[in-house]
Amino acid sequence: MPNKKKDSHDLVNSVALLVIDVQDAFISSLTDSSTFLKRCSFAIEVAGTLGIKTLFTEQVPDKLGHTNKDLLRRATRPKIFHKTSFSALSAPGIENFLRDNEIYHILVCGLETPICVYQTALQAIDKDIDATFLSDALGCRRIEDGNVALNAIIGLGCQALPTETVFYSLLSDALHPRFREFSNLVKTYSDPHFSIHEYLQSNPEPAKSEVDQPKKKKPCKQESRPSWQDKNRNRKDLRVTSSGQTSENLEEKEIKSSPKSAPIKIEKDSQKPTKTIERPKKQTKKVPRKRVAKKAVSHKPKPGKQELP
């Protein structure tokens, strides 16, 4: 680990946990798979607690299957990289991810120590990437091969330390805001009655914050649909009941008042022509009366003149 004193925030941002090929096809071949799952799960969960980015690699997943689902659920926002090469750092896109996120140190755990883990150490040295190998979170089919490979990794200049030792050095102080959560995880995994298989099948806390939230939203959406329908119905009722009547009453009135609607329309129609007829009468009465009076005076002398002779 780096010896320079830095802020814990900057140190955590420059570190990533690299989990190599924890696929069910490889885990089932281990002599002590329970111990491996226990220590690997502890490393993944502590990394999520401290805010350390977690990267997973999968060796030819189309043929060998994907990462163990129980371990993957323990991670917070994991990044998965597929690969055909044995070195994890040769997976397409992983080097760009490390550069873009300014990650200069990787914590390595996973499978298998004499193959993929060892070749990852070789490439880390070639790429000038600091690497610390979590000795208790590594696994292989033959323990003897794993011990020889791990000693070779140390001889190359890489560090190999237990998981708790590494994370305690990252915290560096009991006043760290995440120290209580970390110590609770240490107690949980150190319990002699602890069963890793039962624990992995339970719902992890990080998974609730990311995976269970949409599940909570789904029933809310389903419950909200009828409420929105009710609101839309109420809005329709409000539009209809602007005069103070409900939609049900209007339907009843339309059925009951169907025979009465005809005379009501006739009365309204009868009132309209009377109004339109009265207005022109008022205008015609005033004008023709004067004209008729003038004509009446002019016509009286004409018959008189004809009678005298």
More confident residue, 259 or 48: 48
**Per-residue pLDDT for 112 more than 60?**
yes
DSSP structure string for 241-284: GGGS--HHHHHHHHHHTTTTHHHHHHHHHHHHHHHHHHHHHHHH
Average pLDDT over residues 197-221: 54
Band of pLDDT at residue 10, cut at 50, 70 and 90: confident
**Is the pLDDT assigned to residue 210 strictly greater than 90?**
no
Confidence at residue 202, expressed as pLDDT on a 0 to 100 scale: 82
Please give the C-alpha separations between residue 110 and each of 71, 158, 255, in angstroms, as whole numbers: 11, 16, 77
CA 119/CA 132 separation, integer angstroms:
14
The mean pLDDT of 271-275, rounded to a whole number, is 48
Residues 126-167 have pLDDT tens digits of: 999 999 999 999 999 999 999 999 999 999 999 999 999 999
Average pLDDT over residues 251-278: 46
Cross-strand pairs, 138: 110
Q: What percent of the chain has pLDDT over 70?
A: 62
**pTM of the full structure:** 0.64
CB atoms closer than 10 angstroms to residue 115: 20
- Residue 254: partners with Cβ closer than 8 Å, 6 or more residues away: none
The residue with greater pLDDT, 215 or 105, is 105
